[in-house]
Structure formats: C-alpha cells, structure tokens
Structure 1
Amino acid sequence: MTTIDVFTYDIPAESDFGYAQAIRSGELIHVSGQLALDESGTFVHADDFAAQLKLTYANLDKVLDHYGATRNQVVSQNLYVVNMRQNAMTTAAGNLAYFGDHRPASTALGVTELTFPGQMIEISFIVDMSI
C-alpha cells in the first residue's frame, strides 16, 4: 500500500480553498502552486516580480526540505507568469539561478491574472524521490 504524506503551512487559504501545499504518493511529490507568501500566509511584494520570484522559489525550497528532496529531483515545473513578455528574461534568469545545471521539464504560461491583486508569478513542481 502506498503511503500518503501531506504538507501544509496551516494557513487559512488551505482550508478556505481545500488544498495542501504538497502531497507525496509513493516516490512522487506533487507541489501546489507556490507564490510570494510570508511566514503568516500573507501575500507580499505586490507588483514586484523579482521579489515575488525569489520568495516563491524560497517557498518551494521549504516544501522540498520537508520531504528531504533536492532541486535535482524536480522533474517538472509549471510557471504561471503575468505579463510574460515583460517578465520573460527575469523568469529565465531566476530559473537558471535556482536550478543551476539541472534541467527539469518546464512549461511557462503567460496569464492575465492570478489569485491576489499584484500577484505576478506562481510555480508548481513534480518531484521524483527515486532519482
């Protein structure tokens, strides 16, 4: 039988929307879209793409740390970016800085808006613990 391990920050949005930050099933971890939330679960850095990107990747690291995973075990990511043309180069630079030589499968989608006013980036991962 497969063991399920759910990770939450215990913030209101999780119960309000009915989701977990991540769930591990077997060797795969599915990480929900992470964004620029501070320790209390408050969205921060409205309209500051670079600051949001940095905090979003830091929050992804918290999820990886919970499971004892590394960035090199990320096999897929989805990036949702407001104003893609304007933010494409910053997105690429942040991605390269975060992953270094590791190259997960990646889909970057330009979107018109995200959940919070001023939110400009959201990133989800799939992690494979067997590698």
Structure 2
Amino acid sequence: MSKADQIERFGVSWEADYGYVQALRHGGTIYLSGQVAHDGPALVAPAPVEAGRPADTANTAAQMRQCYANAATLLARFGASLDDVVDEVLYVVDADEGDRAAKVVRKEAYGRPDPQVASTMIGISRLAFPELLVEIKLIARI
C-alpha cells in the first residue's frame, strides 16, 4: 500500500484494467499519472488509425487541451491548480506537431506567456490507445 495521503481516480475502465490511480498526494507533492484526452470513457479528438497507428496528427492541440483540462480537474480535488505544477513531461507521437501545439496550448493552460514549470517533451512511437497523440504527466507542489 502506498503512503499516499489522498488518491483520485476518474472511474474509467482502464484504471482498473491497468491497475493505477490518476493522482496521489504524498505530503506536499501531488503526482499525476499521464493524462490523456478523454472525457469520461470517451476519447476526445481521437486520431484516425491505420494499421494500429495514428494516420494523422492534426488533433494534437485538441488532445493536449483536454489533457491539461483533465489535469486541472484532478489538481482541484487536492485544492491545487496548474499554478502549482513544477514539472511536466509531454509524450507525443509527432514531435514536430507536438512542438507546434505546445507553443500555444501550454501558454493557454498555464495562463501566461512563460509557464513557470520545468518541461520535457519526448517523441514516442505510440501511446496506450492508438487514437491518442499526446499524454502529459505532471508533478505539483502545494
């Protein structure tokens, strides 16, 4: 059993299938599992898929917005917000498209032209569901 002071879930099937929580607080630190573009069990702006891989990455920005929205929802359950995020890792299936999207979406999400957060972007070949284009993992301090 984790030494978590609080855990949070969305109640989506893949939490039980994979066996994890969406977020946990231990002391003054909140750890968010990688957030993907979903609203309840439905994927938001899913990419078209061919041969088990995204066929088009044009929905990267839309998915990224939903990832940050989900993160904000979870953080609020701890009395926190995106203002409390100190570190993030963005996993994208198309690094160029991810970079274009992040230049706009991150600033929108954090509400400032210079988000005060350590950030890493990693290009990967695929995410948990082939329709996904981005996943964002965050750490916040309160």
Structure 1 equivalent of residue 89 of structure 2:
78
Aligned length: 127
Match among 46, 66, 69 for residue 80 of structure 2: 69
> What residue is the counterpart of 2:17 in the other structure?
16
Runs (5+) with no aligned partner, structure 1: none
Q: CA 1:102–1:88 in 2, change beyond 3 Å: closer, same or farther?
A: closer
Per-residue CA deviation, residues 3-43 of structure 1 (Å, 9 max, x unaligned), is 6200001121111101000010000000000011112x222
Query: With structure 2 as the length reference, what TM-score do the two structures score?
Result: 0.83
Instruction: Give the whole-Å Cα distance in 1 for the aligned partners of 2:108 and 2:96.
Output: 20
Q: TM-score, normalised by structure 1?
A: 0.90
Give the Cα–Cα distance (whole angstroms) in 2 for the partners of residues 102 and 95 of structure 1: 7
Given that 1:43 and 1:116 are in contact with CA atoms closer than 8 Å, whether structure 2 keeps it comes out as no
Deviates more, 1:86-95 or 1:30-39: 86-95
Tell me what 2:130 maps to: 117
Q: Look up the match of 2:68.
A: 57
| AA partner of residue 77 (structure 1) | E
Partners of 2:136 and 2:98 in 1: how far apart? 14
- Map 1:27-42 onto structure 2 (within 5 A): 27-39=28-40, 41-42=41-42
Gapped runs of 5+ residues in structure 2?
48-58
Task: List per-residue Cα deviations over 1:31-89 (Å, max 9, x = no partner).
Answer: 000011112x2223112212211111111110111111022210100100111113311
In the alignment, what sits opposite 1:88?
99
SS of the aligned residue for 2:88 comes to: strand
- Which of 96, 100, 108 aligns to 1:97? It is 108
- In structure 1, C-alpha distance between the alignment counterparts of 2:45 and 2:10, rounded to whole Å: 19
Distance 1:93 1:44 in 2: 18
Q: Distance in 2 between matches of 1:78 and 1:45?
A: 21
